Amino acid sequence: MSVYCVLRLCILCVPFYVYAGVMHYQDGDVINLEEKVWDLTLSINLKEVFLSCKYGIPALIKRGSGVVINTASFVALQGLATGNMAYSASKAAIISLTRDLAAAYAKHNIRVNVLCPGPTLTESFQRYLDEKVDREAEYLDLIPLKHFASVTDIARAALFLASDNSAYITGTTLVVDGGITTCRI
Protein backbone atom coordinates (compact mmCIF):
# COMPACT_ATOMS: atom_id res chain seq x y z
CA MET A 1 0.00 0.00 0.00
CA SER A 2 1.29 3.47 -0.88
CA VAL A 3 2.11 6.06 1.74
CA TYR A 4 -0.40 8.91 1.65
CA CYS A 5 0.68 12.40 2.49
CA VAL A 6 -0.29 15.99 2.07
CA LEU A 7 2.33 18.18 0.52
CA ARG A 8 2.69 21.86 0.14
CA LEU A 9 4.28 23.07 -3.05
CA CYS A 10 7.12 20.80 -4.24
CA ILE A 11 7.50 18.09 -1.57
CA LEU A 12 6.47 14.93 -3.40
CA CYS A 13 5.46 11.37 -2.55
CA VAL A 14 3.33 8.77 -4.31
CA PRO A 15 0.48 9.48 -4.66
CA PHE A 16 1.04 13.16 -4.31
CA TYR A 17 -1.27 15.94 -3.26
CA VAL A 18 -0.51 19.44 -4.52
CA TYR A 19 -1.77 22.46 -2.66
CA ALA A 20 -0.59 26.01 -3.16
CA GLY A 21 -2.74 28.91 -2.20
CA VAL A 22 -2.74 32.58 -1.45
CA MET A 23 -5.62 35.01 -1.48
CA HIS A 24 -3.92 38.40 -1.36
CA TYR A 25 -5.62 41.07 0.73
CA GLN A 26 -5.40 43.47 -2.24
CA ASP A 27 -7.01 41.02 -4.66
CA GLY A 28 -10.22 42.52 -5.97
CA ASP A 29 -12.04 43.54 -9.10
CA VAL A 30 -10.19 43.76 -12.42
CA ILE A 31 -10.26 47.56 -12.61
CA ASN A 32 -8.59 48.07 -9.23
CA LEU A 33 -6.43 44.95 -9.14
CA GLU A 34 -2.74 45.78 -9.35
CA GLU A 35 -0.75 43.73 -11.84
CA LYS A 36 1.83 42.81 -9.18
CA VAL A 37 -0.94 41.24 -7.04
CA TRP A 38 -2.22 39.35 -10.11
CA ASP A 39 1.30 38.11 -10.91
CA LEU A 40 2.05 37.09 -7.33
CA THR A 41 -1.23 35.21 -6.96
CA LEU A 42 -0.79 33.28 -10.20
CA SER A 43 2.87 32.65 -9.42
CA ILE A 44 2.00 31.01 -6.12
CA ASN A 45 -1.34 29.36 -6.90
CA LEU A 46 -0.75 28.16 -10.44
CA LYS A 47 2.98 28.08 -11.02
CA GLU A 48 3.66 26.01 -7.92
CA VAL A 49 1.14 23.40 -9.06
CA PHE A 50 2.80 23.42 -12.49
CA LEU A 51 6.26 22.98 -10.97
CA SER A 52 5.12 20.23 -8.61
CA CYS A 53 3.69 18.31 -11.54
CA LYS A 54 6.62 19.09 -13.83
CA TYR A 55 9.08 17.57 -11.38
CA GLY A 56 6.81 14.97 -9.76
CA ILE A 57 5.24 13.30 -12.79
CA PRO A 58 8.56 12.01 -14.19
CA ALA A 59 8.97 9.98 -10.97
CA LEU A 60 5.50 8.53 -11.48
CA ILE A 61 6.31 7.68 -15.11
CA LYS A 62 9.47 5.92 -13.96
CA ARG A 63 7.46 4.03 -11.33
CA GLY A 64 4.91 2.98 -13.97
CA SER A 65 1.81 4.50 -12.34
CA GLY A 66 0.64 7.08 -9.89
CA VAL A 67 -1.89 9.58 -8.70
CA VAL A 68 -1.74 13.36 -8.65
CA ILE A 69 -4.33 15.32 -6.70
CA ASN A 70 -4.28 19.06 -7.31
CA THR A 71 -6.28 21.52 -5.24
CA ALA A 72 -8.35 24.36 -6.67
CA SER A 73 -11.37 25.92 -4.96
CA PHE A 74 -15.12 26.16 -5.25
CA VAL A 75 -14.61 29.76 -6.41
CA ALA A 76 -13.14 28.40 -9.65
CA LEU A 77 -16.60 27.11 -10.53
CA GLN A 78 -18.69 30.22 -9.98
CA GLY A 79 -18.22 33.95 -10.04
CA LEU A 80 -17.85 35.89 -6.82
CA ALA A 81 -19.34 39.34 -6.43
CA THR A 82 -16.70 40.08 -3.80
CA GLY A 83 -13.81 40.32 -6.26
CA ASN A 84 -10.76 38.14 -5.61
CA MET A 85 -10.41 37.79 -9.37
CA ALA A 86 -6.75 36.74 -9.38
CA TYR A 87 -7.47 33.97 -6.87
CA SER A 88 -10.52 32.73 -8.78
CA ALA A 89 -8.70 32.80 -12.11
CA SER A 90 -5.69 30.93 -10.70
CA LYS A 91 -7.89 28.21 -9.25
CA ALA A 92 -9.88 27.85 -12.50
CA ALA A 93 -6.58 27.48 -14.37
CA ILE A 94 -5.63 24.61 -12.04
CA ILE A 95 -8.78 22.77 -13.10
CA SER A 96 -7.86 23.19 -16.77
CA LEU A 97 -4.25 22.18 -16.16
CA THR A 98 -5.45 19.09 -14.31
CA ARG A 99 -7.62 17.98 -17.24
CA ASP A 100 -4.71 18.48 -19.64
CA LEU A 101 -2.38 16.50 -17.37
CA ALA A 102 -4.94 13.70 -17.05
CA ALA A 103 -5.24 13.43 -20.82
CA ALA A 104 -1.49 13.56 -21.39
CA TYR A 105 -0.39 11.06 -18.74
CA ALA A 106 -3.18 8.47 -18.68
CA LYS A 107 -1.08 6.44 -21.14
CA HIS A 108 1.48 6.11 -18.31
CA ASN A 109 -1.20 4.84 -15.91
CA ILE A 110 -1.16 8.15 -14.04
CA ARG A 111 -4.43 9.55 -12.79
CA VAL A 112 -4.70 13.31 -12.25
CA ASN A 113 -7.69 14.85 -10.48
CA VAL A 114 -8.51 18.09 -8.72
CA LEU A 115 -10.26 18.80 -5.43
CA CYS A 116 -12.36 21.94 -5.10
CA PRO A 117 -12.95 22.50 -1.40
CA GLY A 118 -15.53 24.91 -0.13
CA PRO A 119 -14.99 27.06 2.95
CA THR A 120 -12.86 24.93 5.26
CA LEU A 121 -12.45 25.62 8.95
CA THR A 122 -8.72 26.14 9.28
CA GLU A 123 -6.95 28.43 11.72
CA SER A 124 -6.46 31.11 9.07
CA PHE A 125 -10.09 30.93 7.92
CA GLN A 126 -11.27 31.17 11.53
CA ARG A 127 -9.15 34.32 11.99
CA TYR A 128 -10.76 35.76 8.85
CA LEU A 129 -14.23 34.95 10.18
CA ASP A 130 -13.42 36.55 13.52
CA GLU A 131 -12.39 39.86 11.91
CA LYS A 132 -16.01 40.93 11.34
CA VAL A 133 -19.13 40.50 13.45
CA ASP A 134 -21.66 38.22 11.71
CA ARG A 135 -19.19 37.10 8.99
CA GLU A 136 -19.48 33.47 10.06
CA ALA A 137 -23.29 33.60 9.97
CA GLU A 138 -23.19 35.26 6.53
CA TYR A 139 -21.01 32.45 5.17
CA LEU A 140 -23.03 29.68 6.78
CA ASP A 141 -26.20 31.16 5.27
CA LEU A 142 -24.71 30.44 1.82
CA ILE A 143 -23.90 26.78 2.51
CA PRO A 144 -26.84 24.38 2.15
CA LEU A 145 -25.37 21.95 4.70
CA LYS A 146 -25.02 24.88 7.15
CA HIS A 147 -21.51 24.07 8.37
CA PHE A 148 -17.96 24.52 7.14
CA ALA A 149 -15.85 21.65 5.89
CA SER A 150 -13.35 20.26 8.34
CA VAL A 151 -9.80 19.52 7.33
CA THR A 152 -10.76 15.87 7.80
CA ASP A 153 -13.55 16.22 5.23
CA ILE A 154 -11.04 17.42 2.65
CA ALA A 155 -8.47 14.77 3.62
CA ARG A 156 -11.07 12.00 3.19
CA ALA A 157 -11.88 13.26 -0.30
CA ALA A 158 -8.17 13.28 -1.15
CA LEU A 159 -7.75 9.76 0.22
CA PHE A 160 -10.66 8.61 -1.93
CA LEU A 161 -8.99 10.03 -5.04
CA ALA A 162 -5.69 8.43 -4.06
CA SER A 163 -7.23 5.04 -3.37
CA ASP A 164 -8.12 2.11 -5.59
CA ASN A 165 -11.78 3.05 -5.05
CA SER A 166 -11.24 5.73 -7.68
CA ALA A 167 -9.08 3.63 -10.02
CA TYR A 168 -11.18 4.60 -13.06
CA ILE A 169 -11.37 8.32 -12.27
CA THR A 170 -9.05 10.80 -13.97
CA GLY A 171 -9.43 14.37 -15.15
CA THR A 172 -12.26 14.89 -12.68
CA THR A 173 -13.09 17.82 -10.45
CA LEU A 174 -14.31 16.62 -7.05
CA VAL A 175 -16.26 19.40 -5.35
CA VAL A 176 -16.33 19.16 -1.54
CA ASP A 177 -18.25 22.29 -0.62
CA GLY A 178 -21.39 21.48 1.38
CA GLY A 179 -23.45 22.42 -1.67
CA ILE A 180 -22.31 26.03 -1.96
CA THR A 181 -21.78 25.77 -5.73
CA THR A 182 -25.38 24.68 -6.15
CA CYS A 183 -26.45 28.17 -5.07
CA ARG A 184 -25.79 31.71 -6.21
CA ILE A 185 -23.54 33.82 -4.04
Query: Which residues are designated catalytic?
Result: 87
Q: How far apart are CA 29 and CA 17, in angstroms?
A: 30
Complete DSSP assignment for 31-50: TT--HHHHHHHHIIIIIHHH
Rounded to a whole number, what is the distance in angstroms from the first to the last CA of the chain?
41
Q: How many CA atoms lie within 13 A of 117 on its CB side?
A: 22
Compute the distance between CA of residue 151 and CA of residue 121 in angstroms, rounded to an integer. Answer: 7
